[in-house]
Amino acid sequence: MPIERNLKCILLDDEIPSLRFLKMLCEQISGLEVVKAFNDPASLLKEYRKLSFDFCILDIEMPEFNGFDLAKELKDFPIVFSTAYKQYASDAFDINAVDYMRKPISLQRLQQAIMKVEQIINNKAEIVSFAQFNTNKGKTVLYFDQINYVQIAEVDSRDKTVYLADGSFILLKNISFDKLMEILPEHDFIRINKKEIIATKIVKFFSADQMTSNLFDEQDMPLLFNLGESYKKMFFEKFS
């Protein structure tokens, strides 16, 4: 049974045969991509910030870290647990796990879990797809997918100019970059220097000090953005 939208997941199971079997099942579901399969919790903790994914399927009983330890770290992502043990079910749902699958897992059971994840993600996308802001012309509702980048306003640094995909711009009144980063979806936006936030979708090329966007200026030249020293590490981790 295909899912309605493309989803990306990461897998974790310290038992390699179980991990291979789970990956094989996932690959039979149309629209589902396994970004990476981990057999070591420490490796997942080290690498997950560099990966683009929508949800996680985690084993529970593992050496060093258990699945609940990982779930705390991955709290921003929907979690599905996959385990041979039934005694953890209540604990799993106490931390709002999307589903709890008992091994051996069937394709049908996995599909049920993925459909639950899809519903959660769809609902979340509907909830956080826009926000209300104060502008120089009054209040406005701004959809995040329309934003290309944000800069400090020229006249008053307390204000921010938002440049939109349709070529227009909006002046947001008296809002800090810190507040904006709390509102904007973390996976879709990143601050690159003291004066600018960009949408990740506009990144085309980057070097040690500069990012080339897929946007163009009035002379039909690509727009360039400087990478501030304090923001480079986070930027390179996101795009490496």
pTM higher than 0.85: no
pLDDT for the residue numbered 180: 96
CA distance 142 to 33: 31
pLDDT confidence of residue 184? 93
Q: Do residues 165 and 174 lie in contact, with contact meaning Cβ atoms separated by under 8 Å?
A: no
Query: What integer pLDDT is reported at residue 203 of this predicted model?
Result: 94
Report the Cα 101 to chain-centroid distance in Å: 24
pLDDT beneath 70: ranges in the chain: 1-5, 125-128, 240
pLDDT at residue 59 in the model: 94
